[in-house]
Chains A and B, each alone.
Chain A
C-alpha cells in the first residue's frame, strides 16, 4: 500500500505531497520526506566525489531504515527528487518500484509541459490528479506490472 508520494523540485520545494493513509499523521509524512532530502544530498555528494565518469542510477533504492515504513527514492537527471513511502507489509520487487518511479517521472514531465503550470508553486493539475489516482489504485491492487 502506498502511503505517501512526494515530488521535490529545486531549492527543496515540495511541489507535490500526497498522503494516502486516510489523512491521519500528515506531519509524520512531511517529516519523513524532509529527512529524505538529507539522504538525497548525501548520495549526490557521493556521485560528485566519484568523478565525472561515475553514472548515477536514477533509482536510489531504499533511502533509510524506518520501522513500519519503506522509503524509496528516485532522482531525475534534472535534479527533481521523488520519494515513495510504502508500508512495511508491501513486498513488491525493486524493479516494480523502479518502473513506478519511471511512470511518476513521465507524469511529472507532462505536468511541467502544461502551459498553465507555474514554476515554484505547488502543482495543480486535474490531469495529474486523475492519472496519479489511477496509478496508485493500480499499485495498491497489485495490478501494476513492468509494462
Chain B
C-alpha cells in the first residue's frame, strides 16, 4: 500500500516524531535542589519569616492551579467534578498527593469544634527532606509551599479557603499540619447541597 509512495519525510524532524510519554517521576535530588534554590531566592527578597512563607505560598498557588487541570485531564476513569468539601479534600489527600509525592497524605480530619476547618496531617513532607530551619527563623515551615499548592487547587475548584502550614510538636517529634479554613460562602453552599 505504501510501497509506491515517495519515501516519507515523517520522523525526520522533531515535530513529526510522536511525543514521548515522559517519566512520571523526577529524582528527589533534582527536586530538592530546585526547591532549595526557590527558598534561597525568596529569602533574598523578603525581610520577615511571614513574608517568606507568603512568597512560598504564592509560588505554590501557581503550581496548584495547574496541578488541578493536569491531574483532572489525566484521570483515566473520567474526572467527576467535586462539589462537596469532603470530596475535594479527599481528592487532594489521595490523588494529588500520590501524583506529587508518590504516597497519600497521612490523614485528613476536621477540627472538632469548627465545621469550616480541616487539617491534613503529614509526618515528614517531602519538600522538607534536607531542610533544617535555623533558630533565627522561628516557626518557618517550608511546607508553606505545599499549603500554597493546596490553596491553588481549592481556589480553582471553586472552594475559596485560607490554607496555612503549621509545625505541630507531637511528643519529641514534630509533625506538619496543613490547616484549611473555608470561607463562609463555601459553608453556606455546602449546607444548601447537603
Q: Enumerate chain A interface residues (CB-CB to B < 8 A).
A: 110-111, 113-116, 124-128
Chain B: CB-nearest residue to A109: B130
Q: Which residues of B contact A115 (CB under 8 A)?
A: 35-37, 39-40, 43, 131, 142
CA distance A128 to B134 in the complex (A): 11
Q: Which residues of B contact A124 (CB under 8 A)?
A: 134-135
Q: Which residues of A contact B36 (CB under 8 A)?
A: 113-115
Q: Enumerate chain B interface residues (CB-CB to A < 8 A).
A: 32-33, 35-37, 39-40, 43, 130-135, 137, 142
Do A113 and B33 touch across chains, with their CB atoms under 8 A apart?
yes
Chain A: CB-nearest residue to B42: A115
Do B133 and A116 touch across chains, with their CB atoms under 8 A apart?
yes
Provide a sorted-by-A list of 20 A–B residue pairs whose CB atoms are within 8 angstroms.
Answer: A110-B130, A113-B33, A113-B36, A114-B36, A114-B131, A114-B132, A115-B36, A115-B40, A115-B43, A115-B142, A116-B39, A116-B43, A116-B133, A116-B134, A124-B134, A124-B135, A126-B133, A126-B134, A127-B132, A128-B132
Q: Which residues of A contact B132 (CB under 8 A)?
A: 111, 114, 116, 125-128
CA distance A124 to B137 in the complex (A): 13
Min Cβ gap A23→B in Å is 22
Where chain B touches its partner, the secondary structure class is: helix
Q: Which residues of A contact B131 (CB under 8 A)?
A: 114-116
Q: Which residues of A contact B133 (CB under 8 A)?
A: 116, 126
Chain B: CB-nearest residue to A130: B132
Q: Which residues of B contact A126 (CB under 8 A)?
A: 132-134
Q: Which residues of B contact A111 (CB under 8 A)?
A: 132
Most buried by B among A113, A116, A125: A116
CA distance A116 to B132 in the complex (A): 7
Q: Which residues of B contact A127 (CB under 8 A)?
A: 132
Min Cβ gap B137→A in Å is 7
Min Cβ gap A133→B in Å is 13
Chain A: CB-nearest residue to B140: A116
Min Cβ gap A94→B in Å is 30
Q: Which residues of A contact B135 (CB under 8 A)?
A: 124
Seed contacts A115-B40, A116-B131, A127-B132; 8 additional CB < 8 Å A-B pairs: A110-B130, A111-B132, A113-B36, A114-B131, A115-B35, A116-B133, A126-B134, A128-B132
The 7 closest A-B pairs by CB, nearest first: A113-B130, A127-B132, A115-B39, A115-B36, A125-B132, A115-B40, A114-B132
Chain A: CB-nearest residue to B29: A113
Given A126-B132, A127-B132: A116 touches B37 (CB 8 Å cut-off): no
Min Cβ gap A138→B in Å is 18
Chain B: CB-nearest residue to A111: B132
Min Cβ gap B185→A in Å is 37
Q: Which residues of B contact A128 (CB under 8 A)?
A: 132
CA distance A82 to B180 in the complex (A): 46
CA distance A127 to B142 in the complex (A): 15
CA distance A125 to B137 in the complex (A): 12
Min Cβ gap A125→B in Å is 4
Q: Which residues of B contact A116 (CB under 8 A)?
A: 39, 43, 131-134, 137
